[in-house]
């Protein structure tokens, strides 16, 4: 290297003292200085470190062989600029309302009236009205919905009671093909004792998410629609639609048509809206809870991948 003026090379003496076994300087291939430094010299504290300059005139080559023995288990501290962007994969993001779908199944329909109330009112009609109101409520909150039926019809090829299994299987097909998050099947109850009353939520026994969903919806029904209701969630292995669906699902029995007072409430457009709001609020609370859990899990995974 040619120099037209004096060039200074600055070396950190501490670095040489701490790590160099020996060093030498050559100018025009002539050994000018050679020294051997004892490696056991302790490190100098940073505040006492100074620098030295070596003037070199003319053309010079300076070789500084440095032998550094660094143990493999010594941690390395790497400073990363704060303005370096960090990309987090999209698949770690929490589910949003836009990608969550709720299947609403109005029970019975068509030739199948379901339960018949004291005033000869059909369960299938009340189911559909509450289901449509629930659909509206959820869509107002930006959730997607799918109905297994939107009018008074069954899902059989042959509309008669001998093909009820086909109706149920077609409902299950809609549910499983919908890529939905949860299933809500709307029904009305009946009992021999006319004093029986109150909404109740059922879930499939072997389905833990369904139990959680049932709990949220029950709490919401008690708080919004029926404060005097003391009925708890109940598990069952008998509901074909819950057993055959591949997503968490519940059956909501909104009340007893065999209780004259409750039947009149269930026929009321106002109470149907309140019940739909209560069910919908429980669904939303459940979905927000699983979204929060997904967010926390994503944050933990991101921390582990960056750490």
Domains and CATH numbers, the chain: 1-84 (no CATH), 100-294 (3.40.630.40)
Q: What is the pLDDT of residues 168-226, one digit of tens each?
A: 999 999 999 999 999 999 999 999 999 999 999 999 987 789 999 999 999 999 999 99
Cα 253-243-103 angle, rounded to 5 deg: 60
What is the Cα–Cα distance from 121 to 119, expressed in whole angstroms?
5
DSSP string, 20-32: -SEEEEEETTEEE
Confidence class for position 97, pLDDT limits 50, 70, 90 = confident
Q: What is the pLDDT of residues 237-266, one digit of tens each?
A: 989 999 999 999 999 999 999 999 999 999
Q: What is the pLDDT of residues 20-46, one digit of tens each?
A: 444 454 545 555 454 544 445 455 555
- On whether the CB atoms of residues 248 and 207 are closer than 8 A, the answer is yes
Q: What is the CA radius of gyration of the chain?
A: 38
What is the Cα–Cα distance from 172 to 176, expressed in whole angstroms?
6
Q: What is the pLDDT of residues 120-169, one digit of tens each?
A: 999 999 999 999 999 999 999 999 999 999 999 988 777 666 678 899 99
Confidence class for position 267, pLDDT limits 50, 70, 90 = very high
Greatest Cα-to-Cα distance within the chain, rounded to the nearest angstrom: 116
* Strand ranges inside 207-266, DSSP E: 234-236, 249-256
């Amino acid at each position: 290297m040619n120099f037209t003026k004096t060039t200074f090379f600055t070396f950190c003496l501490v670095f040489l003292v701490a790590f160099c076994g020996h060093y030498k300087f050559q100018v025009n291939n002539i050994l000018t200085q050679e020294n051997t430094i004892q490696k056991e010299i302790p490190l100098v504290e940073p505040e006492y470190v100074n620098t030295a300059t070596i003037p070199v005139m003319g053309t010079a080559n300076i070789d500084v062989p440095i032998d550094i023995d660094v143990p493999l288990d010594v941690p390395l501290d790497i400073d990363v600029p704060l303005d370096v962007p960090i990309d987090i994969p999209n698949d770690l993001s929490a589910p949003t309302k836009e990608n969550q779908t709720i299947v609403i199944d109005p029970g019975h329909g068509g030739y199948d009236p379901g339960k018949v109330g004291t005033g000869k009112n059909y369960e299938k009609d009340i189911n559909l009205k509450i289901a449509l109101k629930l659909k509206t409520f959820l869509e107002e909150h930006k959730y997607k919905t799918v109905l297994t039926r939107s009018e008074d019809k069954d899902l059989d090829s042959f509309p008669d009671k001998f093909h009820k299994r086909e109706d149920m299987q077609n409902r299950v097909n809609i549910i499983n093909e919908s890529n939905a998050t949860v299933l809500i099947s709307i029904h009305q109850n009946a009992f021999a004792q006319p004093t029986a009353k109150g909404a109740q939520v059922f879930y499939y026994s072997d389905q833990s998410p369904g139990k959680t969903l049932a709990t949220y919806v029950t709490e919401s029904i008690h708080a919004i629609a029926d404060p005097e209701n003391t009925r708890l969630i109940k598990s069952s292995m008998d509901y074909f639609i819950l057993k055959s669906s591949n997503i968490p699902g519940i059956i909501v029995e909104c009340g007893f048509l065999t209780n004259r007072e409750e039947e009149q409430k269930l026929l009321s457009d106002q109470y149907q809206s309140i019940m739909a709001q209560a069910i919908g609020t429980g669904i939303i609370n459940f979905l927000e809870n699983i979204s929060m859990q997904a967010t926390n899990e994503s944050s933990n995974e991101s921390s582990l991948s960056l750490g």
